[in-house]
Structure 1
Amino acid sequence: MTATDKGPARASAKDTELTEMAWDPITRIVGSLGIYTKIDFKAKRVAECHSTSSIFRGYSIFMKGKDPRDAHFITSRICGICGDNHATCSVYNQNMAYGVRPPHLGEWIINLGEAAEYMFDHNIFQENLVGVDFCEKMVGETNPGVLERANATEAPHAAEHGYRTIGDIMRSLNPLEGEFYREALQVSRSTREMFCLMEGRHVHPSTLYPGGVGTVATVQLFTDYLTRLMRYVEFMKRVVPMHDDLFDFFYEALPGYEEVGRRRVLLGCWGSLNNPEYCDFTYRNMADWGRKMFVTPGVVVDGKLVTTSLLDINLGIRILLGHSFYEDWEDQEMFVTHDPLGNPVDRRHPWNQHTIPRPAKRDFDDKYSWTMSPRWFDGKDYLPLDTGGGPIARLWATALAGLVDCGYVKSTGHSVQINLPRTVSRPAVTFEWKPPADKEGKPLSNAIERDRARTYFQAYAAACALYFTEQALAEVRAGRTKTWESFKVPDESVSCGFTEAVRGVLSHHMVVRGGKIANYHPYPPTPWNGSVRDVYGTPGPYEDAVQNTPIFEENPPERFKGIDIMRAVRSFDPCLPCGVHMYLGGGRVLNTAHSPTGVTLAI
């Protein structure tokens, strides 16, 4: 972690007490995320923040003209971390376009793969990446007084996780040396194996197709998955109480720490883990089968659930350019004026987007990032929704909707209950996640609660996987072993797919003309979380969460590490490859020619 003290901020009189500091690139993530701040060290508060992305790739450009059946193989390569989430969303999108409904067993297998991905990715990020921000070495360097108190504080749930003091928990998180850090690495290996059992290869699945999967389903296959899953379930029985102890301690040791990374509760969840009993992938029934997902879609505004309809979610998406390196597409063709149900579709909807890159010198008063500004229009305001890194939005929407109950997980309308059965050495346990609130009872989305939700969602994914395994085994034992349904590619279609990537909302929108892709736009969580100020001046979630964050670090400005800022940013589980695409520029064409002497020339 490095910071650059650039002295007094640019010019204005009101900024004379501010210090410009930048972290670029942010470490422990994939991609080129930069955080540029102005800090008031006298008031111990971040005064201003800009989030930048310095790379552009362009899948929306080179998808045009491709065979739509290749879409999931191509879009999987958007990311080397959560490529299977893109492949899955693309397959959902294609299922709608082709009018195909996979066999139940095929969908249970996809669900098992996605649940394994949630377990794998959240585990390795939480324990081996974001956990470093809370380890003994980091806390000792930034808040030695807090570490001293941690060493003297008994852990309330020591009997469940085995660490006597909070300081012991922090030591266990030290990179490479810490006991829990190393254990988490081993666990991440088994969860990746679980995914490969279902979809052949991680991170780019080799058996996933429109219409289902090519996986050969046997009792042995699901038994191999289940043995690994039960070890993970036992692991989570220690992890949840351990993280509760650690995160609760920070509130106690640093009064006011709930303000670090806090922003207005504006959460989006597109839902995930389809229920094959109800999901037919048709657009006309999308709101109904969306509500049957095992993670409920929803938009949460100021702590209240305002919709669970995928239809409303889809029609409300707007892509605003704001301060990003693109030209507007106001004068370009509209691919879709009305959705399949006759509802009007906005020009700024992904179905109608044109990606016209225009690189420029970074200027925070003008254009400064390759990430656009997705917003959700509620009929009045363009809301800068965030995903909170995925889990807090998923759990909040699911909890308030009260639509999930499969025995292992249940949403009550005010909480989510997670029931983990007896394992080799530990009894059955029930965890309950409730939407967080501050001391005044106001809804709370901040760095600590985003991280806490990630822990609970790992347990939630494991509990769902137990149910999915039971359903898959029931299909096999009943002789229903078909995992794929044939289909035909239509000449014309308009379609969309929705799911939750690890870090949050993921949608793929496609327009097919003449049997080829005419327009294709994937929108992962990173453009939502890492968006820049839009045309109305509204900052993106990273920017908003860091701006006004109080500084609790004990170091003076000349040795400032920015740990509170880093905790705020990393709580979103940032990952930049999904936020940007590719730019070829105006380049010149190279032709090869052979000279009489046999030398190959580039002309």
Structure 2
Amino acid sequence: MATLATPNGYTLDNTGKRVVVDPVTRIEGHMRCEVNLDSNNVIRNAVSTGTMWRGLEVILKGRDPRDAWAFTQRICGVCTGTHALTSVRAVENALGIEIPENANSIRNIMQLSLQVHDHLVHFYHLHALDWVNPVNALKADPKATSELQQMVSPAHPNSSPGYFRDIQTRLKKFVESGQLGPFKNGYWTNPAYLLPPEADLMAVTHYLEALDFQKEIMTVRTIFGGKDIHPNWLVGGVPCAINIDGDMAAGAPVNMTSLNYVRKITDKCINFVKNVYVPDVIAIGKFYKTWLYGGGIANKSLMAYGDIPDRANDYSPENLMMPHGAIVDGKLTDIHPVDLTDPEQIQEFVPHSWYKYPDESKGLHPWDGITEPHYELGPKAKGTSTRIEELDEGAKYSWIKAPRWRGHAMEVGPLARYIIGYQQGRKDIQEQVDGCLSALGLPMEAMFSTLGRTAARALEAQWAAEKQAYFLDKLITNVKNGDTATANTAKFDPKTWPDEVKGVGFTEAPRGALAHWIRIKGGKIENYQCVVPTTWNGTPRDNEGNIGAFEASLLDTKVERAEEPVEILRTLHSFDPCLACSTHVMGPDGQELAEVKVR
């Protein structure tokens, strides 16, 4: 390829040193990344690959649409329930089913609980190690760490020197035992890590606190959904009865006891995000505020479908609490409406994906989507089909399709939602963003970066925790007023359905815009297509050569050490990639789990 200019404004050059990271870990699913470095170790070309085929669309054909949620929910083992919510909305849209207000509030509480939970887990357990060096925490002065904690967040109760000394001792024993666990494969001597020991110790401490707290957050979804990580859902509402004076033994999982427990967890979420998560991101950001790589297409093309309907059955942008719209060509103040039913707006292409279309020069709207796998390596690829050494980006190279909105590759996720909301004049979002940037001493342009993407996720976690309390209040008030309905089963029987219908359901998953499209014929699923957030962000190139958010975000990034490319991981992890969601990279102690090749 040598040097190539893409239509969406990037210059690629694959003649330099090739660095391969396979697999990219600390994400959900399987991913491979290849980049080319110039003589100054700056990334000039990037190739992002989804290395596992999902296949749920094929499995769903011919099945009962009322059961689709149970299958699609298994797409992901991290974003619990969000695919199920999208699926029941798709079926309800197709069949014209309206849900009760209580069901809307409960669905929103579960979805907002997921947002908080997923963002916390992402930062502390999947992404923080790109910024934080846990081994360096052993050098910290616990007294100085305590002083730092009290300066960063004086409201956090766990801040004494003794507390941090105990954590440091625990960490030291862990390191000396030779069982570093999640810290094992880190590049801990890399100069790309910028935090002083005290900040590292504070962050590692909160890593452990968040690990304990996440077990409590998931109980909210257990109460309303019966279990987690894959709670129960229902076309027409939610599958849980309400009896305000009853108890679980009487078959009423939603009662005052359980609602008071949800209140307790909701309050804890608000406090933890406000006093730990957001302050940590700002504190770490202050040390990295000159490292503003990773913007990619964020300042050019962003999209959000919107979510969290205030009133049931109204999915108009005005009723959605999460922002809706699309920004293209860098015109931030020009926000376009997104219509998921319009075949001219959303199409998926496959010229560089391991799928086959009858005519690969054209994209397909998801209602007409085809999921036919076709795995083959390009003529310039190196290695074999089962042991790839280097991919041919001029051919097919990913199991991810290439979705486009009016021909544009888009970034989706918390950053997209927050930029769109900010430009729409959403005061709640503007106050959060302005406050964060002021604390960091950075201009608005800094949001278009890896650091900005990470900050937007933290701010959204705070927003979601507070909105969770709003819908809990709404639910309790509605029930006290005598409304205990949680499901509408008037159209649950297939005998009431038209012979042939189609629908679309959408949500804003933690990672971004998510939608499912369904065609129902004769009471069975004729076609089902999911376009998930990582399909948008991790897209390979399209027919025109446009690159997507993952690939674009890596360009022009300086890598300190080619053999330890923490900068690649830092930026990719900021998207919280979710590629397959049913298998994970695991191995016994001592087994090599990741390999970096430099040629």
Please, what TM-score do these two structures have when normalized by structure 2? 0.77
Letter of the 2:154 partner, please give it.
Answer: A
> In the aligned structure 2, how far is the partner of 1:331 from the partner of 1:528?
19
Q: What's the secondary structure of 2:73's corresponding residue?
A: helix
Residue 245, structure 1, aligned to residue 271, structure 2:
no
The offset of 1:437, in angstroms, is 12
Letter of the 1:357 partner, please give it.
Answer: P
Q: What's the secondary structure of 2:470's corresponding residue?
A: helix
Q: Count residues in correspondence.
A: 504
CA contact (8 A) 2:137 2:201 kept: no
Q: Which residue of 2 aligns with 1:383?
A: 408
> In the aligned structure 1, how far is the partner of 2:14 from the partner of 2:64?
57
Q: Which residue of 2 aligns with 1:125?
A: 122
Structure with more contact order per residue of length (Cα contacts < 8 Å, sep ≥ 6): 2
Residue 493, structure 1, aligned to residue 501, structure 2:
yes
Residues 331-363 of structure 1: CA deviation (Å, up to 9, x unaligned): 99xxxxxxxxxxxxx962111111221111253
Letter of the 1:258 partner, please give it.
Answer: L
Residue 275, structure 1, aligned to residue 310, structure 2:
yes
CA contact (8 A) 2:327 2:336 kept: no
For residues 246-265 of structure 1, the aligned pairs below 5 Å read 246-251=284-289, 255=290, 257-265=291-299
Residues 263-295 of structure 1: CA deviation (Å, up to 9, x unaligned): 442211111112225x34xxxxx5xx2331111
**Would the alpha carbon gap of residues 310 and 182 (structure 1) be closer, same or farther in structure 2, given more than 3 Å must change?**
same
> In the aligned structure 2, how far is the partner of 1:231 from the partner of 1:293?
25
Residue 392, structure 1, aligned to residue 392, structure 2:
no
For residues 194-593 of structure 1, the aligned pairs below 5 Å read 194-206=220-232, 208-217=233-242, 218-238=255-275, 239-251=277-289, 255=290, 257-265=291-299, 266-277=301-312, 279-280=313-314, 286=315, 289-301=316-328, 302=330, 304-307=332-335, 309-311=337-339, 315=343, 316-330=345-359, 348-361=364-377, 362-377=391-406, 382-387=407-412, 390-402=413-425, 411-412=426-427, 415-416=430-431, 432=435, 442=445, 444-486=447-489, 487-488=491-492, 489=494, 490=497, 491-551=499-559, 553=560, 555=561, 557=562, 560-577=563-580
Unaligned stretches of 5+ in structure 2?
5-11, 162-194, 243-254, 378-390, 584-599
Q: Which residue of 1 aligns with 2:184?
A: none
The offset of 1:140, in angstroms, is 9.0
> In the aligned structure 2, how far is the partner of 1:448 from the partner of 1:182?
22
> In the aligned structure 2, how far is the partner of 1:440 from the partner of 1:519?
46
CA contact (8 A) 2:14 2:45 kept: no
Residue 169 of structure 1, aligned match among 193, 199, 205: 199
Q: Which residue of 2 aligns with 1:92?
A: 89
Residue 180 of structure 1, aligned match among 206, 214, 220: 206
Residue 157 of structure 1, aligned match among 152, 160, 173: 152
Identity within the alignment, %: 26
Stretch moving more, 94-103 or 438-447: 438-447
Please, what TM-score do these two structures have when normalized by structure 1? 0.76
Residues 361-405 of structure 1: CA deviation (Å, up to 9, x unaligned): 25322111111111110xxxx111012xx2112222233334xxx
CA contact (8 A) 2:453 2:575 kept: yes
Letter of the 1:223 partner, please give it.
Answer: N
> In the aligned structure 2, how far is the partner of 1:373 from the partner of 1:51?
12
Query: Aligned-residue CA RMSD in angstroms?
Result: 3.5
Q: What's the secondary structure of 1:125's corresponding residue?
A: helix
> In the aligned structure 2, how far is the partner of 1:521 from the partner of 1:413?
34
Letter of the 1:566 partner, please give it.
Answer: L
Q: Which residue of 1 aligns with 2:217?
A: 191
Residues 554-593 of structure 1: CA deviation (Å, up to 9, x unaligned): x4x4xx311111111100001111699xxxxxxxxxxxxx
The offset of 1:17, in angstroms, is 7.4
CA contact (8 A) 2:326 2:337 kept: no
Q: What's the secondary structure of 1:38's corresponding residue?
A: strand
**Would the alpha carbon gap of residues 313 and 496 (structure 1) be closer, same or farther in structure 2, given more than 3 Å must change?**
closer
> In the aligned structure 2, how far is the partner of 1:179 from the partner of 1:441?
31
Letter of the 1:82 partner, please give it.
Answer: C
> In the aligned structure 1, how far is the partner of 2:209 from the partner of 2:305?
32
> In the aligned structure 1, how far is the partner of 2:369 from the partner of 2:564?
40
> In the aligned structure 1, how far is the partner of 2:567 from the partner of 2:526?
45
Stretch moving more, 208-217 or 260-269: 260-269
For residues 95-110 of structure 1, the aligned pairs below 5 Å read 95-110=92-107
Q: Which residue of 1 aligns with 2:247?
A: none
Q: What's the secondary structure of 2:308's corresponding residue?
A: coil
**Would the alpha carbon gap of residues 83 and 154 (structure 1) be closer, same or farther in structure 2, given more than 3 Å must change?**
closer
The offset of 1:509, in angstroms, is 0.5
CA contact (8 A) 1:527 1:578 kept: no
Q: What's the secondary structure of 2:292's corresponding residue?
A: helix
> In the aligned structure 1, how far is the partner of 2:14 from the partner of 2:121?
42
The offset of 1:250, in angstroms, is 0.7
Q: What's the secondary structure of 1:511's corresponding residue?
A: strand
Letter of the 1:311 partner, please give it.
Answer: D
> In the aligned structure 1, how far is the partner of 2:503 from the partner of 2:352?
29
> In the aligned structure 2, how far is the partner of 1:531 from the partner of 1:579?
20
**Would the alpha carbon gap of residues 224 and 562 (structure 1) be closer, same or farther in structure 2, given more than 3 Å must change?**
same
Q: What's the secondary structure of 1:329's corresponding residue?
A: coil
Residues 288-334 of structure 1: CA deviation (Å, up to 9, x unaligned): x23311112221332625446343685511111131112223399xx
Stretch moving more, 456-465 or 127-136: 127-136
